[in-house]
Every structure is written in structure tokens, then in C-alpha cells.
Amino acid sequence: MFVPMDTVEANYPEKQTATNPLMIRYHVYSRRIRTMLYLGGVLQDRTHSAIRTYIVGFSVILMSLSHCIFLINLCRDHTDNLMLMVKYFSQIGSFIAPALMSACFLIKREKLIELHETLNDMFERELEQDQEAALATLYAFDRPFCIVFFTIAMTVLLHVCPPLISIIYQIIHHTEPRRYRFPFPGKFPWTVPINDGFIFYLHFLYHLFLGWWTVFTISSVDSLFGFYAFQISSILYAMSVKLRSANLQPRGTFSEILETCVWTHRRLCQCNYTLENIWQPIILRMLLANSILICILIFQVTQLTDIIMSEIFLLIFYITLKLLQTFMYAWYGNFITSTSEYFREGIYFSDWPDSSLDRHVRTNIIMTMMQKPMTIKALKVTSVNVNMFTNIVNTAVSYFFLLQSLDEGRER
């Protein structure tokens, strides 16, 4: 899905000799996302075998959904314990995410590849003309990518490391009897030995793969949304800068620039619609799940009676992850909307009425100014912007007070 960097650099070698720090940073950003998509099993690329892509994708779906079933099976044994029920349901919401993301990418594979190729071509064209304008907002996108990956990785490692260290310790010190545990809770429909043996290690490997998909699939898909939002908003911003400086150009040159910008804007609207079409089930799940998960996690913090540092750190990282994930999507959607409005203002304040444009181009310009700014919506329910983040936090707090009142009612 990502064009190799040597191909990109070959398009403008004279600019690469200058070793622009922003260009280097952009290349590192795109390479990291491609690597994450590959490790997460969701890389859609014409250079990779489609059969292999579907095999890995179905593996992610099967493993994630199967563990959700194991967690539901475990919930049936603890229906009288509200604390454990909310803990298990919070993990069900997290493990559904890799399965849904992989399914969306497999179903929309051709649209995803087409979206990347279209945006990549347009973005490269803007880079050739003005690197500074095209990469002006890079810092607002590549840093959150690293923060989200670190937060997800730390959350999963806090689940995986304690049982792994316990296994290693018991093997080294020849502890008898050995009692091992798995990183993630769940009840298998069959009996699994907890002391040793091939069957146990096979199930433990299953848990390690589950943690692997959770880290790389979720972080790569979330970051890819940010990467496409960066490209769309950067192209819009670069065109806005171009329009503001084009007023000083000769009349014929200005008309060509304006016509090109309007044509590019139309293609970006199509890309924005495709991006929304691919990600809207993912965003809708995130809206519904994160508001409930944040509420559950806050409730778990208030119910802690014994201070266990590992559990406290786990809850802190988990709450931070859900807030950060929600804010990232809201921030990216807001960026697209604001740069789209900035582009419309660039056309409005340009000298297009006095330019030598034919009536078809003038009609397109008027229609562009009359259009609403680009937005990302989740199944036409809500727009992805900063207000969405505020609404989710308010909903989570409301759910928390409801859950707290239910818990007090059960104690009485």
C-alpha cells in the first residue's frame, strides 16, 4: 500500500541532495507506519500476495474473536461479581478491535489501495512544488503515532510480562509444584494444564500472538488514519498557500493554478469520502466502546482496596490509551475540516472573478465555495472532531455514576 521510498526519492533527486530534515522525518514516518501495518497483518499492497494477506487477516480475526468468546464464557462464572464482570467486558471491547479492523481492511482492500495511490500521487506533486507548505503540519501527526504505539505496547506488556517472568523464575529455581497463568483472562471450553507441558506452552503462545495483534494491528490502523488525514490536510493547506501567492502571478498563470486547485479539491473530496467509508465502522466501535471502557476503568480505580503497583500502572496506561485514542481521531478529523475551510477562504479571497476562466471552471469554483468543509462521519451519526471527544468524556462520566449507583444498590 505504501510506495517504496527509493521510488519516491527518484521523483525529485535534486531536492534530496539538500537533506531536508522535514523530508527525512516524513520518510521515517511513512516507513514506520508501513512496518507497523506489516507486523499487524493488515498491510494491503499490490506488491504482496492477496492470498497471504487474506490468510494473515483471517488469523487476526479468528484469534481475536475466539478470545472474546472465551471471555464471555468466563463472565458466565462470575455473574455475581460486578467488579470482575466489568473488567472482563472491558477486555472484550479491546479484543474486538483487531478483528473489526482486519475485517474492514480485507473487505475494503481495493478501495484502500486506490485511496493510498491517489493520495500519494497528489501529495508527491505538492512536495515537488513546495515542501515547506506540504510538510508544515507533520509534527502534529508523527509524534502522536509514537505516543499511541508506546501506550498500547506498555498496556499489553503489563499483561504479558508478569506471567512470563513467573514462568522463567519457576523454571530456573525448579519450583514445585509449578503453577503458571496466562497473560489474559479467559475460560477455554477444554481443560488446559497450568503446571507445564506442550499444551500449556501452545496456549501461552496463543496469548502472545493475541497481544502481538492487539499492539500492532490497533496502533497501525489508528496511525494510518492519521497518515491519510495528514496527507489530505497538507494538500489542502499547500493549495491554500499557493492560491494566496498566485494573486501576484500573471493572469494566465493564476488561472491555471486556480483550475488545478479546484480539480485537486474535487479528487480530495472523493478521497475523504473513501476514507470515511473504510473507517466509519472502526470509528463507531471506538465511540461506543471507549465511552464505556473509560467509565469501567474509572470504576475499577475507585474499587481498588489494596495498592498493587502493577495493577495501578495498568489501569493508568489503559485509561490514558483510551483517552488518547479518542482524542487522536477527533484531532485528525478536526484538522481535515479546518484546512478545508482554510482552502475555501483561499479561493474566496483570490481574484478569480477577473481571471480568464471558462464558465465550467467558474461553476466549479462557485460550487466549491458553496460546499460545506470536509468532515469525517461515523455512519452519519456524528462528525469526528474535538466536540466528539468532549461528548465521549461526558458520556463516560455519566456511565460511571450510573455504574456506581448500581454497585451501591447491590451492596445494600
- SS3 breakdown of the chain: % helix, strand, coil, rounded to 5? 80, 0, 20
What digits encode the pLDDT tens for the residues 293-327?
Answer: 888 778 777 776 666 777 777 788 888 888 888 89
Distance CA 1, CA 15 (A): 24
Please determine, for residue 17, whether its predicted confidence score (pLDDT) is greater than 50: no
DSSP H helices in 80-182:
82-107, 109-129, 131-134, 139-172
Choice among 82-96, 136-150, 353-367, 388-402 with the minimum mean pLDDT: 353-367
Please determine, for residue 18, whether its predicted confidence score (pLDDT) is greater than 50: no
Give the whole-number percent of the chain exceeding pLDDT 70: 84
Distance CA 365, CA 274 (A): 22
Distance CA 45, CA 303 (A): 47
Distance CA 104, CA 88 (A): 25
- pLDDT band at residue 99 using 50, 70 and 90 as cut-offs: very high
CA dihedral 183, 185, 186, 190 (to 10 degrees): 60
Length of the chain: 412
Distance CA 88, CA 78 (A): 10
Of the two residues 180 and 369, the one the predictor is more confident about is 180
Of the two residues 185 and 378, the one the predictor is more confident about is 185
Please determine, for residue 112, whether its predicted confidence score (pLDDT) is greater than 70: yes
Provide the greatest CA pair distance for the chain: 89
Cell reading at 147: 505516543
Choice among 4-8, 141-145, 361-365, 395-399 with the minimum mean pLDDT: 4-8
Given a contact cutoff of 8 angstroms between Cβ atoms, the answer to whether 314 and 158 are in contact is yes
Say what the pLDDT of residue 321 is: 86
Domains identified in the chain, total number = 1
Cell reading at 191: 481443560
Say what the pLDDT of residue 54 is: 92
| Chain position carrying cell 494573486 | 247
Nearest CA among 3, 390, 317, 372 for reference residue 147: 317
Crossing angle for the helix pair 251-302 and 198-246, to the nearest 10 degrees: 150
Please determine, for residue 212, whether its predicted confidence score (pLDDT) is greater than 90: yes
Range of the domain at 117: 5-411
Say what the pLDDT of residue 42 is: 92
Given a contact cutoff of 8 angstroms between Cβ atoms, the answer to whether 332 and 229 are in contact is yes
pTM more than 0.85: yes
Cell reading at 204: 501461552
Distance CA 71, CA 65 (A): 10
Please determine, for residue 244, whether its predicted confidence score (pLDDT) is greater than 80: no
Q: What does each C-alpha distance from 43 to 4, 12, 90, 101, 109 come to in angstroms?
A: 14, 26, 27, 11, 9
